[in-house]
Structure 1
Amino acid sequence: MNKHDLKILPEYFAAVVSGEKKAEFRINDREYAVGDLLCLYEHGWLKDCDGLEGFSGQHVWVRITHITDMYPWKPGYVMLSIEQGPFKC
């Protein structure tokens, strides 16, 4: 099991936290595997900071439950099905 630190835009972060979003479309630039943990860090335009871009300080841990290779539709990308914790990190 590996751990991956990734940035995520605020609107998608909120959907993951609420449980509405259950998958991540990502470039396959890491060796993702079922069971790996993703630490998703909220990053983007921050409304509470006069529209500055950066990290909000919020994060959520999720586990990869399934990986779909997006070839031939989008070569080099994967769809990661995810579930929320709690997890021991």
Structure 2
Amino acid sequence: MPEVHYLKTWTPFFKDIKNGIKNFEVRKNDRRYKVGDTLILEEFEPTTGKYTGAWIPKEIIYKLDDTCFVKEDFVILGLKDIKI
């Protein structure tokens, strides 16, 4: 069953995702990410240490965690827009 993951996303990366420049996430593989899961990317401003209240929903459409290509304990997630 697909899960929903709420992720803190620093403002520069959040803006690139919002503007369609970035369609992936590199994350510590500390959750059970699966293709089909939903990410709620929550904008976090590191200079103030606060969330802005902005968020973007994305669906995981690809997962790369093979240690031949990705550092151990990390994962690259391919994302697509979710229409709400």
Question: Normalized against structure 2, the TM-score is what?
Answer: 0.90
Q: Deviations over 1:23-74 (max 9, x none)?
A: 10001101100010000000123xxxxx522100000000000000151441
Partner residue of 1:25? 26
Structure 1 consecutive aligned stretches of length 4 or more whose deviation exceeds 2 Å: none
Structure exhibiting the larger radius of gyration computed from Cα positions: 1
The percentage of counterpart residues that share the same residue type is 29
Partner residue of 1:75? 72
Unaligned runs of 5+ in 2: none
Amino acid of the structure 1 residue aligned with 2:57: W
Decide which of 60, 63, 69 is 1:64's aligned counterpart. 60
Separation (CA, whole Å) in 2 of partners of 1:70 and 1:58 = 32
Question: Normalized against structure 1, the TM-score is what?
Answer: 0.85
Separation (CA, whole Å) in 2 of partners of 1:53 and 1:4 = 20
Partner residue of 1:54? 50
